[in-house]
Structure 1
């Protein structure tokens, strides 16, 4: 995530705990006094103590790696207290490697953050060890160096929750997989922040995204084909849009080209349902999805039709498919407002082909009336003319009267205009009585 070089006092307020604030307070005091060497040394001490506190917190929560590390540290402290010099050397080695340990075993920070913190450790050594410098020339860090180290310490470590990496990912996945995970994106954003994504590292955001995409596509995963995963992906986009878009396009393109036909519906559903997914995938992936829309079995295609209709580039293929739907298939998709225009044309054609009252009643009941809110006066005219122009068997069907009555009640056209239309097309018996 991007940060500005804010005032260090304001940065201090971002520390998660009172302990973290107290750790960095001494560094701030040194900075204000112009003692930049002391500020850097105090900042390193704050980072080490905060990381150790986080290891202990994770140990209490049951993280295996944290338990092993906490056991080592406890052993070294016990040796020091008993006067065993080996404990001192081991504790110093533990401190020397603490950044790499927390990166590799606990995933507290990514590689770039590790580099920033390594620079702090190196500058701490130059500030604290005169023997590292030319005789008589002590190291003199600038105010900007000290300020940057304080900033990095707060942003990368002191402001972060004690759970990152694998432990955080496992907890977030469990939250998302729960049947009580919110269905709305806004509420899902709040839930994810509460679960550990308040100010997440870039590495954690990428890990969560990967877990959601590939978990949704993996049969034995707790997120397999769960709607919560789609909602969480859209919520993650709200939390970190730039990073998510960069990663999402790569991972979805990979999935589209790697999965077999038996699981293609799942990745297809992700592209249709996740924010900006279609725009982010590569061209070969788009071509494969277009082909899927053209030839996929109806049962595979229908669940994602509503979302697909929002993708401009897929609309022509989708309209072509809808024009070939039978009554049962069309009835299964008229619920999606996004495809009402395409559905109307096919519904009128099915009604025009009606050769019996039973068929007319079925078409009007199953597709015409469900589309009623999308009908215009022009559409009404098209339907009323079908008996005369296409010999459709509408006249006398009881649902045809229901349709006309509803048109009249909804005032889709002037009463006199409707009556003239009915009279001219063989439906005088439906004209309103004075």
Structure 2
């Protein structure tokens, strides 16, 4: 009951809403025949209104129906009784054709056509007792009337006047627009929540095709990779609403992805690898290809040579805990990387997973000159500061101290920022920093004093100025 009442609040057309409410009131008060008649009346009124909207957009079938309705209305308003009867006849003709027109306009699908046709037949039985043999009255049950009302709401009444093809075209144009901005609530409201199921499936499958296969469509007007990235973000929003629907849509693309060139396969992994629906759709053979590719990238990254950007993006998926568990090769590949390659990858996204590798990155293989030391401190180590615990902080500071190339011209600024990034460790963290500073004081008095001042360790400054 709550489900039905919730749907009543979502009737799209405010002019049709009173008819739907009357149908529901008849059902709840135990008058199922009236409920069925009013439900069919609401369906006709809704379809006529939607046809008029689509007629304004230039749809030929909608124009034909709207024209007949207009003629019937003009005749029905005439003072001539003959013309009024003509108008009634034309409206009956509209009623006979209206479901077929709705199907042609993609306002309903074939199964919904069958459901609404049953409603129409039951409306006739309810409104015309003479249709029953031996003068028997048609006596539908309350639940039967409720089923008709629910079917009409789901198939038609809660949806805007949108067609399957036009919804997909509108979605494609919106995503490909140069000024496109992803707003998940707006996207799902416009192309998912307020769209009937058949059109919703088409939208999701369209997004899946472009996201997985990186289709180069010259009619779209946007570079294939950029469009694929946008479609992947849309899929994530849709998956929040219905992950099973997205999984099914992705599964339909896996055969083509398995036969695609390796660059497209790797791009799909990068783009969708953090989406659980993607891995539910990936067949074992393709999963094996991804694992082999990851192992290959880990071996390539053992040398100081910089990996290509797409290869770095692929290995950067190691930040996702679920993916590390389901694809162990990803962790091993990351651990195989040269420290400089690790630094490039960590710089893309700070994460708690990387904290145990920061000391290695600051070592002599990772930092080979002052410029590299400054870059790694500011882009790799400091952003990970909020994730450090006492043990990793101690290891990081030790590695920082041991490699002289970390001590460039602006190192004190970097250390001050690092201290601020680890403020969550509280007094125990301060104790680790004091240990570091005291070790530093044994060799560089000026740096020691400057850092003690920046860190707020005034007692150390006082002790040094008054050694007694």
- Which of 329, 336, 347 matches 2:349? 336
The superposition leaves residues 205-261 of structure 1 with CA deviations (integer Å, 9 ceiling, x where unpaired) of 2122112122332111457433443332222233x2255344345245445324332
1:321 shift after superposition: 4.3
Residue aligning to 2:369: 360
Q: 1:90 to 1:172 in 2, by over 3 A?
A: same
Pairwise CA RMSD = 4.2
Residues 378 and 141 from structure 1, CA distance in 2 versus in 1: closer, same or farther, beyond 3 angstroms?
A: same
1:47 Cα deviation after fit: 0.7
Counterpart for residue 99 of structure 1: 99
CA contact (8 A) 2:205 2:250 kept: no
Shift of 1:409: 5.6
- Counterpart CA distance in 2 for 1:336 and 1:353 is 18
Q: Return closer, same or farther for 1:64/1:285 CA change in 2, 3 Å cut-off.
A: farther
Q: CA deviation at 1:60?
A: 0.9
Change beyond 3 A, Cα 1:295–1:115: farther
2: distance between equivalents of 1:316 and 1:345?
23
The answer to whether structure 1 residue 236 and structure 2 residue 238 are counterparts is: yes
* Paired residues of 1:5 and 1:148 also in contact (CA < 8 A): no
Q: Which residue of 1 aligns with 2:381?
A: 372
Q: Does 1:301 align with 2:311?
A: yes
2:58 maps to 62
**After the TM superposition, which of the residue ranges 48-57 and 368-377 deviates more from structure 2?**
368-377
Aligned pairs (5 A) from 1:108-187: 108-130=107-129, 132-183=131-182, 187=183
- Matched residues in 2 for 1:20 and 1:407: separation? 62
Whole-Å Cα distance in 1 between the matches of residues 373 and 349 of structure 2? 17
Separation in 1 of the partners of 2:172 and 2:317?
A: 25
Residues 44 and 402 of structure 1: is their aligned pair in 2 closer, same or farther, counting only changes over 3 Å?
A: same
404-413 or 328-337: bigger deviation:
404-413
Q: Supply the distance in 1 between the matched residues of 2:292 and 2:97 (Cα, whole angstroms).
A: 53
3-state DSSP of counterpart to 1:135: helix
1:206 to 194, 201, 205: 201
- Cα distance change, pair 64–218 in 1 and its aligned pair in 2 (3 A): farther
Q: Is 1:323–1:342's contact at 8 Å kept on the other side of the alignment? A: no
Q: Tell me the residue number matched to 2:443.
A: 428
Contact 2:12 2:157 survives alignment (8 Å) = yes
Aligned equivalents of 2:350, 2:159: Cα separation in 1: 44
Please list the CA deviations of residues 23-59 of structure 1 after superposition, one character each: whole Å capped at 9, or x if unmatched: 3355346546644334313321221221121011112
SS of the equivalent of 1:42 reads helix
How many residue pairs were aligned? 409
1:52 is aligned to 2:48: yes
- The alpha carbon displacement at 1:405 in A equals 5.3
- The answer to whether the 8 Å contact 1:293/1:318 transfers is no
Counterpart CA distance in 1 for 2:114 and 2:176 is 34
Give 2:15's aligned residue.
19
Q: 1:235 to 1:385 in 2, by over 3 A?
A: same
**1:289-338 deviation digits (Å, cap 9, x = unpaired):** 22333336632222355445212233642552463347478436523113
Tell me the equivalent position of 2:265: 264
CA-CA distance at 1:286 after TM superposition: 2.7
Distance 1:408 1:5, change over 3 A: closer
Q: Which has the higher contact order (CA 8 A, sep 6+)?
A: 1
Residues 421 and 295 of structure 1: is their aligned pair in 2 closer, same or farther, counting only changes over 3 Å?
same
Give CA deviations for 1:255-299 in whole Å, capped at 9, x if unaligned.
532433242243223313546533554433433322333336632
Alignment partners' CA distance in 2, 1:396 and 1:32 = 78
Counterpart CA distance in 2 for 1:78 and 1:408 is: 79
What is the alpha-carbon distance in structure 2 between the residues aligned to residue 131 and residue 54 of structure 1? 33
